[in-house]
Amino acid sequence: MKVLLVNGSPHKNGCTYTALREIAEQLQKEGIESEIYFIGTEAIRPCMGCGACQKLGRCVIDDAVNAFVDKAADFDGYVLGCPVHYASASGAIVSFMDRVFYSAAMAGRRIFRHKPAAAVVSARRAGTTATLDQLNKYFQISEMPIISGRYWNMIHGRTAEDVAMDKEGLQNMRILAKNMAYFLKCQRAAAEAGILPPDWEKPELTNFIRKGV
């Protein structure tokens, strides 16, 4: 069992990384492998809504997004780490996640379905809960169970050194990791007992426009 931890911060070893590292260390104690994936600082173009991924099987913009989707398919759970920028998720992670989830879905690659996920956010002070709500929507639309800690999954500090002093935040990262490990082990036990996930249903797409009314 493996969990992919995504560092969506432009700072490779900053506050977000410190939170993810705490999770990784606890996962190791629980017998779960993990890897921290840094999305980097290169520009990530936003989704163009062109639909080419439906035909190509991957995003038409061939960059870190396609490489990530290929890599993510081999993991059993995910933790998305993100800094708070202006009381919301960073522009880079939004572009990244839009294209990751849209291209995978349009290509028929249901690699995220029923895999547990959690969002973790870091901030100096505020905007954390709004950012968590924003990020959790990627998981909800993909039929992914959301893993929580004992509090909202946030960490506070301007620097990694500050975060190291946020004892409550770090404790919650460890509790989140324990809950993730527990859920993964339950999934494995269920599979071994022959309990299978629900069948996938083709989406019924509607809108609120009523012609001729």
**DSSP secondary structure, 86-152, as one string:** TTEE-HHHHHHHHHHHHHHHHTT---STT--EEEEEEESSS-HHHHHHHHHHHHHTTT-PBP--SS-
Question: Which two structure tokens, joined as six digits, stand for 36?
Answer: 């921290």
Tokens standing for residue 153: 């999954």
The domain limits of the chain are 2-192
Is residue 36 within 8 Å of residue 17, measured between CB atoms?
yes
CATH 3.10.450.40, applies to 2-192: no
Q: Whose CA is closest to 27, among 78, 100, 66, 64? A: 78
Task: Please check whether residue 113 is in contact with residue 143, taking contact to mean a CB–CB distance below 8 angstroms.
Answer: yes
What's this model's pTM, rounded to 2 decimal places? 0.93
Per-residue pLDDT of the chain (213 residues; tens, 9 = 90+): 999 999 999 999 999 999 999 999 999 999 999 999 999 999 999 999 999 999 999 999 988 899 999 999 999 999 999 999 999 999 999 999 999 999 999 988 999 999 999 999 999 999 999 999 999 999 999 999 999 999 999 999 999 999 999 999 999 999 999 999 999 999 999 999 999 999 999 888 888 877 765
Tokens 């929580």 sit on residue: 148
